[in-house]
């Protein structure tokens, strides 16, 4: 963990945290899961069995038990055990409003990662020089509240042991679970988001955890410390101060706070990344996202995600390749040596 100390994140602080509605509602269900039951069906890669009797402190990581070896890990990633940066698949797509397919994204992104180099000429660093692990995919409930709690618990495990997380969605609701987990360890978190859509609805199709509500839920959790760039689809009642240009985004963030970056791949122009659930014309260029990475390089980034890649709508697989490349560049920008 020594490598992280210079970035202002040493050991997990013991903090009292408020209970969020999401957590209190389903903590009872989590206890059931923690008693050793396999939480839901099977996935082609890794299954994580929630074993052990109680979820307590640093020993929690041991309760995440691999029951199947991943067939393919992300480029140059090894076991998550001694990793400082952990890739975690969250193949959940039940909160999608239009078309599904994002549950296939972790597999597609890992496969696409095999096509790129591990060295970054931009950040002059190599994935092979950092302790990168791939924990495989979570086995998730199809119920949004349960799945988000599972994601939150897994992410909390990694944060408690000083690891950084890179989460592969899934639809954008996955980010609600990730931030819930990070905030248990780092309640002062701030969040930067790239998204074509404002995701500001309080509820959608009867659910507060629809992917159309993601930014609203984050905004509530982090006491307003969220800023979003790349947005060109609004409903009209947004808190407009949250939506900024990608060039303005780093200036809104406090460099001294732990920071999370969520990338909905649909923020990038659909001519570059067509394989998404809700394409929205007029998006960002790839180079603008790289410039954001450069501007955030000295921030204390504690995690990032890439969500909403839809392999069924990605005929040339370039969306998955772009996601893999952004993960590679992001890891090296924020945690490279």
Return the range that interacts with Mn ion (CB under 5 A); candidates 6-14, 32-40, 88-96, 266-274: 266-274
Count of residues in contact with Mn ion, rule CB under 5 A? 5
- Closest by CA position to 50, among listed 156, 139, 179, 160: 139
Distance separating alpha carbons of residues 99 and 177, to the nearest angstrom: 21
94 scored as a contact of Mn ion (CB under 5 A): no
Residue at shortest CB range from Mn ion:
197
Rounded to a whole number of angstroms, the minimum distance from the CB of residue 188 to Mn ion is 26
Confirm or reject binding of residue 134 to Mn ion (CB under 5 A): no
β-bridge partners, 177:
none
Q: Can you tell me which of 195, 269, 305, 314 binds Mn ion, judged by CB under 5 A?
A: 195
CB 268 within 8 A of CB 197: no
Tell the smallest beta-carbon distance from residue 148 to Mn ion (Å).
Answer: 17
User: Which range binds Mn ion by CB under 5 A, 64-72, 85-93, 135-143, 191-199?
Assistant: 191-199
In the list 110, 163, 184, 197, the residue contacting Mn ion (rule: CB under 5 A) is: 197
Two tokens, residue 333: 């920008």
Minimum Å distance from CB 237 to Mn ion?
A: 17
Token pair belonging to 152: 């939150």
Looking at residue 19, the DSSP 8-state letter turns out to be P
266 counts as binding Mn ion under rule CB under 5 A: yes
Shortest Cβ distance from residue 10 to Mn ion (Å)?
Answer: 34
Q: Is residue 191 within 8 Å of residue 223, measured between CB atoms?
A: no
Minimum CB distance to Mn ion, residue 143 (Å): 22
Q: What is the distance between the alpha carbons of residues 104 and 331, in angstroms, rounded to a whole number?
A: 22
Q: How many CB atoms lie within 10 A of CB 297?
A: 14
Residues that bind Mn ion (CB under 5 A): 195-197, 264, 266
């Amino acid at each position: 963990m020594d490598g992280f100390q210079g970035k202002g994140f040493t050991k997990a602080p013991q903090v009292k945290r408020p209970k969020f509605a999401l957590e209190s509602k389903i903590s009872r269900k989590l206890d059931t899961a923690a008693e050793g039951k396999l939480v839901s069906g099977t996935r082609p890669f890794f299954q994580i069995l929630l074993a052990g009797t109680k979820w307590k402190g640093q020993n929690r990581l041991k309760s995440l038990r691999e029951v199947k070896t991943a067939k393919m890990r992300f480029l140059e990633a090894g076991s998550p055990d001694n990793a400082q940066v952990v890739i975690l698949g969250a193949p959940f797509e039940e909160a999608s409003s239009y078309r599904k397919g994002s549950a296939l994204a972790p597999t597609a992104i890992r496969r696409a990662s095999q096509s790129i180099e591990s060295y970054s000429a931009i950040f002059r660093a190599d994935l092979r020089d950092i302790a990168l692990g791939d924990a495989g995919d979570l086995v998730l409930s199809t119920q949004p509240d349960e799945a988000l709690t599972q994601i939150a618990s897994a992410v909390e495990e990694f944060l408690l042991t000083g690891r950084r997380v890179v989460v592969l969605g899934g639809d954008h609701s996955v980010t609600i679970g990730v931030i819930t987990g990070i905030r248990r360890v780092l309640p002062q978190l701030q969040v930067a988001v790239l998204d074509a859509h404002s995701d500001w609805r309080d509820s959608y199709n009867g659910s507060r955890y629809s992917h159309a509500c993601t930014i609203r839920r984050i905004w509530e959790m982090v006491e307003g410390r969220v800023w979003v760039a790349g947005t060109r689809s609004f409903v009209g009642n947004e808190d407009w101060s949250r939506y900024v240009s990608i060039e303005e985004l780093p200036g809104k963030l406090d460099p001294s706070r732990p920071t999370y970056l969520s990338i909905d791949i649909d923020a990038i122009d659909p001519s570059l990344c067509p394989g998404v659930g809700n394409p929205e014309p007029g998006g960002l260029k790839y180079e603008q996202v790289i410039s954001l990475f450069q501007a955030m390089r000295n921030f204390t980034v504690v995690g990032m995600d890439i969500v909403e890649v839809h392999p069924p709508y990605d005929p040339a697989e370039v969306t998955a390749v772009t996601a893999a490349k952004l993960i590679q560049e992001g890891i090296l920008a924020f945690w490279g040596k």
